Structure 1
């Protein structure tokens, strides 16, 4: 039976217009870092061209060797910059740093990832050797569902950062996290569905 990770794991659902506090347990991801505008950066294109082949090879390994199949999860990314305004108002993507991620089922470990990396060698994955297995422990987070173009996220992020978080006696910590429930290559911008997540802590 194929496991759909986004249905089995907490945190892959959210409601538009609702800012909710959620507790996200530690989770492991295939991860790859970069810098710059994701729309124009070759590094971002290379990152996606490298992380997906490894993820699908890992899925195949799980099915063949462990008899456990699953649906590769949605693309996720962490975003940050020295100036927070580049996210909420200025939206200067050239200043953004990012980590693209794909969730890894808990029954797979580092040895499985290395076996999959070896099996994926030779594929057109320019940064394959740079993809790592990383655990992310986000804990308490604020999240909501944004529907629409990515460039219209700014007001929602400003509401989270400037109103909701202080009003709840919280403060920001960690990095802004996005989960892309839609395929941007096949979805009209106004219909894109993106979970926006921000780790927080009690003041």
Structure 2
């Protein structure tokens, strides 16, 4: 049976128009860091272009060697800037920093990941391969919602999350803004894109 992790992990489900408080489990990822406008940055293109062959090589290894097949999870990204207004008002993408990433199932470990890296390296073409790291992320308590539409239309939703819902719930932001891309923007019109918007938080003790 092919495992679909986004159907097994509750935090990969969100509702449009609703902010939910969820507990996100610790997950392991392939990750690449960078900075700049994702629409024009060669570093961003190289990062995404390295993650996918890496992730699919791991999938085929797992199916062939471990008899455990799975759906490659969706692309995700962490986003941040010195001033978070770069996301909610100015939308100055040149000031954005990012980590693009794809979940790796918990039955795969460092040994398999490095073997997959060697396979991808032999095939060539993954220009950011040496910058891909294998690391766990434990976000824990988080607020999230489903955004439907263009990425450029996220600002009002994020502003409501950051300045209204989170403080009104006695929470404060702790980690980095997290997006999970449930569609491929090359195949789906912008107005139909589905993106989970997540913000790690903690209880405000003040």
Which TM bucket (shorter chain)? Answer: over 0.9
Q: Secondary structure of 1:74's match?
A: coil
TM-score normalized by structure 2? 0.97
- Give the corresponding residue for 1:152: 153
- Give the corresponding residue for 2:182: 181
Distance (whole Å) between structure 1 residues aligned to residue 25 and residue 53 of structure 2: 26
CA deviation after TM superposition for structure 1 residue 5, in Å: 1.2
- Give the corresponding residue for 1:70: 70
Identify unmatched segments of 5+ residues in structure 2: none
- Give the corresponding residue for 1:41: 41
Alignment of 1:1-203 (within 5 A): 1-121=1-121, 122-203=123-204
CA deviation after TM superposition for structure 1 residue 185, in Å: 0.3
Distance (whole Å) between structure 2 residues aligned to residue 17 and residue 67 of structure 1: 40
CA deviation after TM superposition for structure 1 residue 140, in Å: 0.4
Q: Secondary structure of 1:60's match?
A: helix
Distance (whole Å) between structure 1 residues aligned to residue 91 and residue 147 of structure 2: 16
CA deviation after TM superposition for structure 1 residue 97, in Å: 0.3
Q: State the number of aligned residues.
A: 203
| CA deviation profile, 1:85-129 (whole Å, cap 9, x unmatched) | 000000000000000010010000111100100111132100111
Identify unmatched segments of 5+ residues in structure 1: none
Distance (whole Å) between structure 1 residues aligned to residue 172 and residue 39 of structure 2: 30
Q: Secondary structure of 1:11's match?
A: helix
123-132 or 81-90, which deviates more: 123-132
Distance (whole Å) between structure 1 residues aligned to residue 130 and residue 63 of structure 2: 23
Deviating beyond 2 angstroms after TM superposition, the runs of 4 or more aligned structure 1 residues are: none
Indicate the RMSD between aligned Cα atoms, in angstroms.
Answer: 0.6
176-185 or 120-129, which deviates more: 120-129
CA deviation after TM superposition for structure 1 residue 130, in Å: 1.1
| CA deviation profile, 1:136-190 (whole Å, cap 9, x unmatched) | 0000000000000001100000001100011000000000000000110011111
Distance (whole Å) between structure 2 residues aligned to residue 39 and residue 129 of structure 1: 22
TM-score normalized by structure 1? 0.99
Distance (whole Å) between structure 1 residues aligned to residue 17 and residue 36 of structure 2: 29
CA deviation after TM superposition for structure 1 residue 10, in Å: 2.4
